[in-house]
Amino acid sequence: MAFELPKLKYAYDALEPYIDARTMEIHHSKHHAGYTNNLNNAIAGTNLEGKSIEDILANLDMSNAAVRNNGGGFYNHSLFWDVMNPEGKGRLSGELKAAIEAAYGNFDEFKTVFSKAAATQFGSGWAWLCVHKGGKVEVCSTPNQDNPLMPGVSCGGTPILGLDVWEHAYYLNYQNRRPDYIEAFFNVINWNEVERRYAEAK
């Protein structure tokens, strides 16, 4: 079956004032839709048809630019929409909170490290919170649409929180003020979903 653009669980304007409706609409209905269509075209008639996106990315031939870029774009954005929520669902707690504190000392230091990874990613890319088997967490960033599931990517593990720092994700509202966009992101994180992903991946 072909991959389908996932429906958002909230309206395009639901994340305002942190992320504006016009950006969300373009980002989802144009950019993510483009990655979805291009991924389907790239795998059509190949042995990748019918495989899960996680299987495709984990066993990716990194020289296959079409699948690398569009498969990454499809997966990354699917995660991105799910780890945000307008209602501020949940607070960081439980095993994930303990894992973050074990790695970074406290939440504020984690936020500093994550924000720095997002702010200093040169050009386009993503910042990630990943979990390794056993539960250890790690922050990293990747260029373009690469992500930690792909072979040879710097931090590895399973991504459970991701922030898109491509300019299309924030430029209409924040222009060149990427740090302001990063700060705003922390107001819309769906920690219940991040914790669910942590428990599943560890």
Binding site members for Mn(2+) = 27, 77, 164, 168
Residue 101, CA distances (Å) to 80, 119, 154 in order: 23, 22, 22
By the 8 A CB rule, do 195 and 93 touch?
Answer: yes
Strands of the sheet containing 125-131, edge to edge, are 137-143, 125-131, 158-164
| H helix intervals, 49-148 | 53-58, 65-82, 94-104, 107-119
DSSP state of 5: P
- 5 neighbors 36 (Cβ within 8 angstroms): yes
DSSP string, 36-62: HHHHHHHHTTSTTTTS-HHHHHHT--T
C-alpha dist (Å) from residue 113 to 8, 100, 106, 157: 28, 11, 11, 17
